[in-house]
Amino acid sequence: MRPDGSEEVDILLSTIDLGHLRPGCHYVSTPDRFRDPVQSPLVPNAPIGGILFRMMHRAPLLWLGLCLMGCAPKTTKFVFVPPPTAEAMSLLGDTLWTLPIKTEDGPGLVFRLDEARDRVTQNPGSIDARLVLGRRTEEMGRLRGAIRVYTQAMQELNADRRLWWRRGRLLLQIREVDLAIRDFQYAAQDNFAPSSKGRTEFEELRTGEGVAVTTILYSTFHYLGFAYYVQGSFEKARIAFATALNEAASTDETIATLFWLFLASQRAGLVTEGRALLEGLDSQVDLAYARAELDMLLAFRGDREIEDLPVDLNARIQTGDQALYAYGIGVGLLLLDRIEEATLLFERVRRADDWTRWPVLAAEADLTRLRGETP
């Protein structure tokens, strides 16, 4: 047992061959027909929680009678409500607090936030001013505060799909997956002005090396795909990720989406289709921030040894790249039916320093499913 409460990861890395995943491995996709228990047919293999949910909708009097008798069975869906001062609750029920800000960064962040507030005061009808205020609020670690900024802008100003995908991304980070999907789906609709469909935006790179240009539709479909991935709807995730690839504005975006598309394909049982995605990968491509995703894709193709990846599976996970390496290896172990080792790795990832990282959320979702619950 390590000081942070997690177990030591005892994995023989040389025995992990990610280049030879096979169909029929443990834990593939939950069929989409089970994802909506209200509309799904009552089938023999449907989860008991889904059966009871359908019973509640189709036979409410029977359900009420069961409840009054105190014998209504429990489902496996748990809803965690965060304390008022917390940012979120993890999918496993842990309280997620506002991330600390470096002391040396504090004054600059406060100045930029005040500057953004002044801009909104001077131009209350400017969507761009609201977007900047939301971003500056998010930089302070106040994700729920940023969500309120975007929500207020939606209520007061003309519709702009940037508001929906940005709020959706934040909702996804605070583990409100269903609400996030709703925002992404709305942002992807064609009822916005044509000029906003392919509008580019400047996004700060996670490495802090400047800015990258992205399209709104790329961001919308990439995050929609990830939200479906977290849900376990891997077929839907594949469709969304494939759409995002067509909207990618850079090689980094292509590689980042390709990584999650590959995982979604493998976990949907489409091993051949997943392997086809790895053909033509260039190991020498120039990247700004998606090097970890490329390394993992090359490892899955058999061109990278796990031992050579720049991650210590027993060290504290402090960066997004470390989280992604560990999560990718964990999924590989899962698909190789090495469940205990995969579980240990997912536990390591979900205890990473920054809970807003996407691999952390994905690890929480996998651990939830491995425990027989619904993310």
Q: What is the pLDDT along the chain (375 residues), one digit of tens a residue?
A: 555 555 555 665 555 666 656 544 444 433 332 233 222 222 223 333 333 333 333 344 433 343 333 443 333 445 556 666 789 999 999 999 998 888 998 999 999 999 999 999 999 999 999 999 999 999 999 999 999 999 999 999 877 889 999 999 999 999 999 999 999 999 998 766 655 667 777 665 554 555 667 888 999 999 999 999 999 999 999 999 999 999 998 999 999 999 999 999 999 999 999 999 999 899 999 999 999 999 999 999 999 898 889 999 888 999 999 999 999 999 999 999 999 999 999 999 999 999 999 999 999 999 999 998 888
Joined together, the tokens standing for residue 259 give: 């990584």
Same domain, 108 and 68: no
Terminal-to-terminal C-alpha distance of the chain = 26
In a domain, 121, yes or no: yes
Do the domain assignments include residue 10?
Answer: no
Q: Which residues pair with 203 in a beta bridge?
A: 212
Same domain, 72 and 88: no
Single out the residue in 144, 174, 197 at which a domain terminates.
197
| Pair of tokens at residue 50 | 């889904």
DSSP code for 41: -
My answer on whether 93 and 163 are in the same domain is yes
Looking at 49, 77, 105, the residue that finishes a domain is 77
Domain range for 66? 31-77
The rounded distance, in Å, linking the Cα atoms of 273 and 4 is 39
pLDDT of residue 43: 27
73 & 87 share domain: no
Name the domain boundary from 163, 178, 197.
Answer: 197
Q: Is 110 a domain residue?
A: yes
Q: Is residue 325 part of a domain?
A: no
- How far apart CA 109 and CA 209 sit, in angstroms, is 17
